[in-house]
């Protein structure tokens, strides 16, 4: 039993690290633009399908799809950024509906191109088991765990140290003040969208290598990313990482102790519990006029 639980913890941490990539992109865009990109999960999914396409059509290793996945996800990011920027009234709510519509489009385009079937990698090398003592994982899981840590670390460093990163932080905390300091908010938003796209590209390939994909999965990914952002509390990268690992572990434990069908339920119940127990706590929606 202990061994099973240890294994679940291990798998959960590995899976959670990829969730962090998805959630971080969502949180970054939310931070700078105050909008939730409801098509974020679909973007990740489209990136995943790039890996599928290269593997399926040319027999390439899915890892070689990373550049293409990143480029495609960044292009989608730029499109979202452009469309949202053109909303004239009530951007907060209308951007939700707009990105929701974009999500519908991406899902249905995926359905047309790649059909409704469930896809996963055929690469034996990626799926090979690798063990530490009694803990097992696939090679790809361990690989993307490392990639995720490096990327999250890089983004954290970028936000802290680089000029654009600081501009992103400035726009997040006070858009008007940032403008006065000579920061172009539009440019900054675009940059945060691009970073989100880059992360989504990696996350997509990780998703394809580590598990299975299907066009209808996008919505659930967005929800998962949002749940992590909420658990984390806004504006904390370490929080996003911890929240993501938490969800990963909770899901893995549910699979081990109950059933894999209930896996998605865990995160959502956790999320609703947070809503019940700390209605204001994690969000800081209390408003002063």
Partner 1 sequence: MTRRTLATGMLLVALYVGVPLLFGGDLYLMSNIVAALTIAGIALSWALLGNLGGMVSFGHAAFVGVGAYVSALCVMKLGVPVFAAIALGGIGAAMASILIAPALRLRGPYFALAILAYAHIFKIVATEWKSLTNGSGGLSSIPRFPQWLGFDFGSKTGSYFIVLSLVLAFAAIYNLVRRSHYGLALRAMHDSEAATRVVGVNSLLLKGWMLLLSAFMAGVMGAFNAHYINFLEPDYAFGAPWTTLPIVAAIFGGYRTIIGPVIGALVVYLVDQLIFKSLIPSGHQVILGALLIGMILWSPGGMLPPLTRFFNRRAHAEA
When asked if residue 118 is in the footprint of partner 1 (CB under 8 A), the reply is no
The neighbour count for residue 104, using CB atoms within 10 Å, is 15
Q: Smaller CB distance to partner 1: residue 1 or 89?
A: 89
Q: How far is the CB of 7 from partner 1 (least distance, A)?
A: 24
When asked if residue 272 is in the footprint of partner 1 (CB under 8 A), the reply is yes
Q: Are 45 and 110 in contact (CB under 8 A)?
A: yes
Range 90-95 contact pairs with CB under 8 angstroms and sequence separation of 24 or more: 91/34, 91/35, 92/34, 92/35, 95/33, 95/35, 95/36
When asked if residue 94 is in the footprint of partner 1 (CB under 8 A), the reply is yes
Residue linked to tokens 């990136």: 47
Q: How far is the CB of 19 from partner 1 (least distance, A)?
A: 15
When asked if residue 98 is in the footprint of partner 1 (CB under 8 A), the reply is yes
Q: Smaller CB distance to partner 1: residue 24 or 227?
A: 227
Q: Smaller CB distance to partner 1: residue 90 or 176?
A: 90
Identify the sign of the CA torsion 17, 191, 236, 157: positive
Stretch that binds partner 1, among 28-36, 152-160, 169-177, 185-193 (CB under 8 A): 28-36
Among 9, 71, 78, 104, binds partner 1 (CB under 8 A): 104
Site string for partner 1, 197-216 (x = CB under 8 A): -------------------x
d(CA 87, CA 78): 15
Stretch that binds partner 1, among 44-52, 93-101, 196-204, 206-214 (CB under 8 A): 93-101
d(CA 238, CA 244): 10
d(CA 58, CA 24): 32
Q: Which two tokens stand for residue 273?
A: 């519990």
d(CA 260, CA 245): 18
Q: Taking CB under 8 A as the criterion, which residues in 227-246 touch partner 1?
A: 227, 230
Identify the sign of the CA torsion 71, 75, 210, 49: negative
Contact residues: partner 1, CB under 8 A: 30, 35-36, 38, 83, 86-90, 92-94, 96-98, 100-109, 111-112, 115-116, 216, 219-220, 222-223, 226-227, 230, 259, 261-262, 264-265, 268-269, 271-272, 275-276, 279-280, 283, 285, 287, 289
């Amino acid at each position: 039993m202990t061994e099973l639980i240890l294994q679940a913890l291990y798998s959960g941490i590995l899976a959670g690290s990829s969730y962090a990539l998805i959630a971080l992109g969502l949180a970054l865009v939310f931070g700078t633009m105050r909008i939730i990109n409801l098509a974020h999960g679909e973007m990740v999914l489209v990136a995943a399908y790039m890996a599928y396409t290269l593997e399926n059509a040319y027999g390439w290793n899915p890892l070689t799809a990373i550049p293409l996945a990143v480029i495609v996800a960044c292009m989608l990011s730029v499109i979202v950024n452009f469309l949202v920027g053109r909303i004239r009234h009530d951007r907060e709510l209308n951007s939700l509906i707009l990105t929701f519509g974009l999500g519908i489009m991406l899902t249905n385009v995926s359905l047309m191109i790649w059909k409704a079937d469930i896809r996963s990698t055929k690469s034996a090398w990626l799926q090979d088991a690798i063990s530490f003592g009694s803990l097992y994982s696939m090679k790809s899981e361990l690989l993307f765990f490392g990639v995720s840590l490096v990327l999250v670390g890089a983004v954290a460093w970028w936000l802290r140290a680089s000029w654009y990163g600081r501009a992103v932080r400035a726009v997040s905390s006070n858009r008007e003040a940032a403008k006065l300091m000579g920061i172009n908010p539009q440019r900054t938003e675009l940059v945060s969208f691009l970073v989100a796209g880059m992360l989504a590209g990696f996350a997509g390939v990780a998703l394809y290598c580590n598990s299975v994909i299907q066009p209808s999965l996008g919505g659930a990914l967005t929800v998962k990313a949002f749940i992590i952002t909420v658990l984390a509390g806004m504006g904390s990268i370490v929080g996003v990482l911890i929240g993501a690992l938490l969800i990963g572990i909770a899901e893995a434990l549910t699979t081990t102790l109950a059933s894999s069908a209930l896996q998605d339920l865990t995160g959502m119940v956790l999320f609703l519990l947070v809503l019940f127990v700390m209605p204001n706590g994690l969000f800081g929606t209390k408003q002063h006029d």
